[in-house]
Each structure stands twice: as C-alpha cells, then as structure tokens.
A and B are shown apart, each in its own frame.
Chain A
Amino acid sequence: MVIEVDVRGFSCPIPVVKTKQAIEANPKEVLSVLVETAVSRENVSRLAESKGYSVEATETDGEYRLTLTPPGK
C-alpha cells in the first residue's frame, strides 16, 4: 500500500512535520509525497534520507512527487 501525503501549498516546516508524522504512523509503507516548492522537496528528502529511506523525485508542472521507500523494501 502506498500512503499519499499532499503537502502542496504549505510553507516550511509543515511539509516536513506532516511527512514525519506519516512515516511514524506507517513505518513499513512506501510514501508518495506531493510538494510544491524546491525547498519542500529538499527538506522532505533530507528527512526521509536521515531515516534510511530511498527517495525518488519526479517533477510535473512545477510540482514534485517524492516516492519515499523505507529501508529493506
């Protein structure tokens, strides 16, 4: 199951807070995080990588979809 987290429009640090809470609530699941700015992309990626997640980012229409895969998955 992929958990969707839509944090578009939120300014720093809300995207990080919401992603962190989603990670803690679903520690073994893949997360798909939608962010709107390069800053949010960097901050969410840094958080995920610090927890051992691998991060894949795709850009469409000025928005970023970050796929966060937990370690060992």
Chain B
Amino acid sequence: MKLLLTPRFRIIIAGLVFGVLAALMTNWGNPPNMGICVACFLRDVAGALGLHRAAVVQYLRPEIIGFLLGAFITAYAFGEFRSRGGASPLVRFILGALVMIGALVFLGCPIRMMLRIAGGDLNGMVALAGLITGVLVGILFLKRGFNLGRATRIHPLVGWTMPALMLGLLLLAIFKPGFIFASETGPGAMYAPLAVSLVIGLVVSFLAQRTRMCFVGAWRDVFLVRDFYLLSGVIAFFIAALVTNYVVGNFGATGIYHWGFTSQPIAHDNHLWNFLGMGLLGLAATLIGGCPLRNLILAGEGDTDAGVTVLGFLAGAAIAHNFLLASSPNGTGAWGPLAVTIGLVFCVIIGLVMRE
C-alpha cells in the first residue's frame, strides 16, 4: 500500500495509462504515429482558425482544449490554481514559436517523437539525440545563471483567460461555424470522435497536472540533478505505447507500422534536420522550462507566462506553414533549415545574455 503512494509509482502508472491511450488514439481515428502530438495538434488548431492555410492540417483538436481545461479543473480541485505572470512574456512568446518551428521541421513534439519510435519510426531516435543535445546546451545556460526573471501574483481573472479561450474553442469545435477551417484530406481530416478526444484530453491532463509530467524536463532533470522521477514517467509512456501497438496488431502484416527509417507515416528521413529541429526544440523548451504539454498544463493552472508561450506555439505554427518552414513527408520545407539556424542563434544569445 505504501508503494502505491510514492510519487515515483504514481508517475509510472500515469505514464502507462497515457502511453496506452496515446497509441490507441491512432486506432480510434487520429493520424498514424500521431495519437497525441501537442505540436501537431496546436498546428491543426492554428489552421482551423485560419492562421495558416495549409489545407491538410486544419482541425480544432479537442485534445488541446481538454489538456488546458483539465489542468484548470484539476488545479482548482487541488488548491493549486494561482494567477501569476510577468517573467519575460515576450521572450517566452518567441521561444514558444521557436519550439513549434523546431517541432514542425522534425514533424512532432517530444510526445510524438516517443510515439514515432514506439511505432517503429527510427527517425525518432535521431530526433531524440537532437533533443538531448539541445537540453544539454540549455543546462549549460541554466548552470551559468540563466533565468527569465520572477513572476508575480496577478488578479485571478487574468489566469482565467486561457481556460476561457479554450472554452470558446470548444464551442466552436461543437457548433462548427463556417469560418472555422476543416481539412477534407490529410492528417487534419483524421480524428477520433470529439467526445473521445475531449475526454482523453481531460484524463491525460489530470494525470499530467498531478504528476508534473514533462517530456523535456525528464531529460533535463537526469543531466542537471540526476533525478529520474520525470524520466520514469516518459519511459513508462514509451513502453506502454510500444506494447499497445503490438497487442492491437499495428505491427502486423496488415498493420500501419514497420521498423525502419523510410516510408514512415507523416515523417521524413532527413537526419540532419530531424536532429537539429529537435535540438532547437530541446534548447528552447529548456529555456522556457518545459515541453509543449507542460506549458499547456501550466497555462491551465493560471500561469499566464505559460499562456503567452502557448500563444507563441500557435504563432510559430502559423509562421511555419505560411513561410514554408514546416517539413512534409517529402522532406524539409524550403526555409526550414534557415529558420532552425536563426532559432538556434537566438536561443544561444538569450541563453548567454539573460543571466544574473
């Protein structure tokens, strides 16, 4: 009984549940190896709102709404909702956009990266090496005193802004007014039923809020303080997704997955830019303190700096698709490599300059 109460045990259970659900979401309608991808889904939301016009990736993903609203509800239920903000919001906005650009050059956030490996896509291993490299560079800056300043408490109503925005998006997702874009083909046209997506989002959000799950912080903590708490959740997530894919037959003769680098679903095999795209994400996410999922959760808890970061994610998705930065299964976008290079330079400057 005592074992059941340890934080380590709880995050392993949370990781297992999340991993099973994330893998199954593909079988319930979401795109292959994209059961849950916070970056891809934010990109779809940006498309649905017309912030970019890539016709194949436009859908108001209820998972995103569920993640943020679920964190809001959970934080209130456990007395952890705190309206706060003011720690370099503009820098966070730009770093958020860079996180998204890095993700869309690789084609996935750190969650989808693990799902891609669990679905046989070995390009995810290259991206993982890039992510860890980016995190290691971020740690160098943290050790030199990098930080984005202190947040202060603000009026509770301000902390309600992002949850209210998500409630609005939920109404748009339910009533589907004509000005909301919706893909007719491609990944944006592949989705689980709205209620399923929303409930999964709420459940995952509850688990992530209580355990502080983070797919970038997991690697950071291992190298920064030799703390394997968060990583045990990520490893549990990966094992659960891998086993689920085998159990439901996704690796079978008629399944959707196979092991290798080539012909992987919604992926390319340009190793250099998979590495550097995820490297940019790892570095920028280390500077802002967490992966895209973690920022959604924090935004739901009343952290308006994380809220600004989420808006940065949406802006980054719009920029990536409007200016040909995003990759496709055919390879990198025309300007993706240049954008990643500029992003890395920006992160290094911020990392060197913003210190005490």
| Interface residues, chain A, with chain B CB atoms under 8 Å away | 8-14, 16-17, 20, 36-39, 42, 46-47, 50, 62
Asked whether A9 and B289 contact (CB < 8 A) given A17-B142, A17-B224, the answer is no
- Distance in angstroms between the alpha carbons of A20 and B227 in the assembled complex: 12
Question: In whole Å, how far is A60's beta carbon from the nearest beta carbon of chain B?
Answer: 15
- Which of A14, A16, A20 lies at the interface centre, i.e. has the most chain B CB atoms within 10 A of its CB? A14
Q: B82 contacts which chain A residues (CB < 8 A)?
A: 36-37, 62
Q: Is B229 an interface residue (CB 8 A)?
A: yes
Q: B212 contacts which chain A residues (CB < 8 A)?
A: 12, 39, 42
Contact B224 A38 (CB under 8 A): no
Contact A16 B303 (CB under 8 A): no
- B151 touches which one: A11, A16, A42 (CB < 8 A)? A11
Given contacts A14-B289, A37-B82, 9 further A-B contacts (CB under 8 A): A9-B87, A11-B87, A11-B148, A12-B289, A13-B142, A13-B221, A14-B142, A38-B80, A46-B7
Contact A50 B227 (CB under 8 A): yes
The size bracket of the interface on B is: 20 to 34
- Distance in angstroms between the alpha carbons of A36 and B212 in the assembled complex: 16
Which residues B187-236 have CB closer than 8 A to chain A? Answer: 212, 217, 220-221, 224-227, 229
Question: In whole Å, how far is A10's beta carbon from the nearest beta carbon of chain B?
Answer: 6
Q: B87 contacts which chain A residues (CB < 8 A)?
A: 9-11
Q: A38 contacts which chain B residues (CB < 8 A)?
A: 80
Contact A46 B227 (CB under 8 A): yes
Asked whether A16 and B224 contact (CB < 8 A) given A11-B289, A46-B229, the answer is yes
Nearest A residue to B298, CB-CB: A11
- A13 touches which one: B152, B224, B298, B305 (CB < 8 A)? B224
Q: A20 contacts which chain B residues (CB < 8 A)?
A: 225
List 25 A–B pairs whose Cβ atoms lie within 8 Å, in order of A's numbering.
Answer: A8-B150, A9-B84, A10-B150, A10-B151, A11-B87, A11-B148, A11-B303, A11-B305, A12-B212, A12-B217, A12-B290, A13-B217, A13-B289, A14-B147, A14-B289, A17-B143, A20-B225, A36-B84, A38-B80, A42-B212, A46-B227, A47-B225, A50-B225, A50-B226, A50-B227
Contact A9 B217 (CB under 8 A): no
Q: B298 contacts which chain A residues (CB < 8 A)?
A: 11
Nearest A residue to B356, CB-CB: A18
Q: B305 contacts which chain A residues (CB < 8 A)?
A: 11
